[in-house]
Amino acid sequence: MSDNKNTPNTQNDSPTNNKEESQTGFSRRKFIQSAAVGTGAMAMAGASMAQPTNLSDKYNIDITSIGIAPDFTTSHELAPIASSFENKNGMTGAEVFAKACKEEELAALFCCPGNYDVIHALAAEGIPAYGGRNEGQMAHAADGFSRATGEVAACSGTEGPGFTSMIMAIGTANAAHTPLLVLASNMQIAGEDRDQMIQNVYQQPTTEGMKKYGKRIITPNRVHEYAGYAFRNLKSGVPGPVHLDFPSEVSRAQFTDPSQLTDYHSRERYRTESRSSASSAEIKAVVKMISKAERPIIVAGQGVFQRKAWEPLLKIADRNDIALVQSGPVMGHVPDDHRMSAGTATGATLSADLVIFVGQYCMPSPGEYAFNPNIKTVRIHPTQEDIGRNWPIDLGVVSDEKIFLEELANKIPRKKRSKWVDELAAARAKSVKKVERGYQLALKYSEKTGLIHPAVMAMEFENVFAKGDIDPKQTTYTMGGYTIGRCLSRNAFSYRPGQTLAVPYQYGCIGGDVGMAFGSGVAVQRGIGPQAPYKGAPVVCATSDAAVAFGMFEMDTANQYKVPMIVIIYNNNAWGTFGQAHRKPQGTHLHLFQENLRYDKIAEGLGVRGEYVKTPADLRAALERSYKLASSEGSSTVINCQGMKEFSSASAFPHPSLAWAIEPGRGAVAH
């Protein structure tokens, strides 16, 4: 071991392996070495050509040949080449589309091989492109990138299987209203209905109900026109996924002159940045309602983040003592430590007498938010047709969120509401006390069992990243899992825009965590949008043993692209749902995994660090060590945090964290 100070001896936790080696004289390292000799010169040549990442040696990972291929590095560092009609063969349809994406400043592409014409054209054009291990995870990565930045990102897969692999992620992005550009190749037009070769599927019907707009492009010379359709939808109103599929007749068509293409205009001519705004009478009406209210509250939805409207929002709250609570798939545009934050002021929301929903895209019904049933309601939304849906309104205003908030910030008078401020502060303090109470109980459970209760993991997470030496604003988090997700909802702090991503938001997806964390990691690595001040910082993903199985191989992807990630797995040997079979115990086995699986060892096999922890102290040390190494050396770590499924049993280990978070507020995943 070359770095004993910073690195745990992972073999200490694996007595079986050591015993096996001592008794048989056989080890995996020896096996690999002997296998390498046996596989001949080609394999040896390949191994010797690989550039070692140094991680395997540095951290005493017992696999000798992990390395990043020289071809990867060479390709990744190549300068872009702009396509042009002046080139010998002009431009292909894929290149025309890629050029439009470049002009629209498409921020990133996440993909797996397939749809070659389009992804190669995008990469060559200079769109930052990332190739991973699974199309679904790459689509989650694009979603994560977009959630962390508010920018449009694309994902891509091959026609049949690659495309359908993305479905869960498309559904997730649709529920979260992410501006996700979904690309896929598709059977050639000439092959329709002929079962030609392989990978045939009709894509557009498959994404019905999961997109804002979709089109199978069947007329080659309209490819630029449909790029316009795509970006008009991605960058206007309420965002959502746009799905384009490309038959080869479109992607490989040749164009030598712009006149061969329909609607070949610049973006200023095929779409507008003009947005709806409230009239002065409407602003006056809102101000009047606020003035009459004693306890007003603004629910700052996803639209506030998407439109980067947090500054006027906070100004309004400060000027008029209006409570703030955020909602949506990304948290932080209402900082938890703001004096008017109601994010953890559970119960105080019930005494609010006026709620103003701004940019609330997933609209709850009365009863789903802890508000008084008779609360006066104002809703600000960028499109007219959604206002009044689910939640009855007293006033509806069609306006872009940022324009409305800026206008309101200019018009709202100063007002002190000391009773309301005190009530919020008292409710927040009570919430902290309750979380601490739950933590103390969980600590006792951990001491009793020698395993980590999920509430302990959640609190250690907060201790290290919010209360320790690390700037609490620095780290971007991705939160997933069922059992651990419910616990983390009490500790999932956020202090600045784009800081915390709630993977299961609305759609309830389990399994997008690692992919989404990778996407957010790319955003931080490049310092895009609200991530700019934290450029290069490690990102953290809290997930479960169930969820990580969907995406763990993307640690390979993270390593290749040098995105430092710390993935903390709450390992309770089961789907968090195992209790659902309580009344039909014959079904319990459907929810269980083998016990004590070593995800940390799998991580080592993927070329990243692995840590295995069973006590709160070990967990904290592992978190601190992993973060330090991620910061200083760019290394990623998977921390396998061992718990047990019985901690989810209300009768065996009663604990408040089993209850879902009260909405609106911290930990909300439904709306």
Partner 1 sequence: MPFKKSLICLSILFGVSAHAQEEVKYSVDSVSQGQRLFAMNCTSCHGNDGKATVNFVADATNLTDPTQWREGNTRAHAFSAIKGGQAVDMPAFEWILDSEEEIWHLTNFIISLWPEALREAALAE
Could you list the residues that contact partner 1 (CB under 8 A)? 346-347, 350, 365, 367-368, 370, 434, 437-438, 440-441, 444, 448, 508, 577-583, 648-656, 658-660, 662, 670
Nearer to partner 1, 37 or 650 (CB): 650
Nearer to partner 1, 164 or 648 (CB): 648
Task: Reply yes or no: is the peptide bond before residue 664 cis, omega within 30 of 0.
Answer: yes
Q: Select from 15, 55, 32 the least CA-distant residue to 636.
A: 55
Closest distance of CB 95 from partner 1, Å: 45
Closest distance of CB 391 from partner 1, Å: 13
Nearer to partner 1, 269 or 437 (CB): 437
Give the CA angle between residues 602, 16, 648 to the nearest 5°. 60
CA atoms of 108 and 101, how far apart (whole Å): 10
Cβ 570 vs Cβ 454: under 8 Å: yes
Q: Could you give the angle at which helices 310-320 and 401-411 cross, rounded to 10 degrees?
A: 30
Closest distance of CB 590 from partner 1, Å: 11
Closest distance of CB 349 from partner 1, Å: 9
Closest distance of CB 507 from partner 1, Å: 11
Q: Select from 385, 382, 387, 378 the least CA-distant residue to 399.
A: 382
The helix (H) or strand (E) run that includes residue 33 is helix 28-38
Nearer to partner 1, 202 or 660 (CB): 660
Neighbouring residues of 79: CB distance < 8 A, sequence distance ≥ 6: none
CA atoms of 235 and 238, how far apart (whole Å): 8
Closest distance of CB 444 from partner 1, Å: 6
Closest distance of CB 510 from partner 1, Å: 11
Closest distance of CB 447 from partner 1, Å: 10
CA atoms of 592 and 604, how far apart (whole Å): 24
User: How does 260-295 read in b/e, with b if 16+ C-beta sit within 10 Å?
Assistant: bbeebeebeebbeeeeebbeeebbebbeebbeebeb
Nearer to partner 1, 438 or 521 (CB): 438
Closest distance of CB 654 from partner 1, Å: 4
3-state DSSP assignment of residue 449: helix
Nearer to partner 1, 224 or 666 (CB): 666
CA atoms of 635 and 629, how far apart (whole Å): 6
CA atoms of 184 and 381, how far apart (whole Å): 32
Closest distance of CB 650 from partner 1, Å: 4
CA atoms of 249 and 92, how far apart (whole Å): 10
Nearer to partner 1, 205 or 587 (CB): 587
Nearer to partner 1, 26 or 660 (CB): 660
Six-digit token string for 170: 């498309």
CA atoms of 390 and 148, how far apart (whole Å): 28
Q: Going by DSSP bridges, is the β-strand pair 213-216/242-247 parallel, antiparallel, or unpaired? A: parallel
Q: Select from 201, 215, 184 the least CA-distant residue to 113.
A: 184
Nearer to partner 1, 5 or 583 (CB): 583
Nearer to partner 1, 597 or 662 (CB): 662
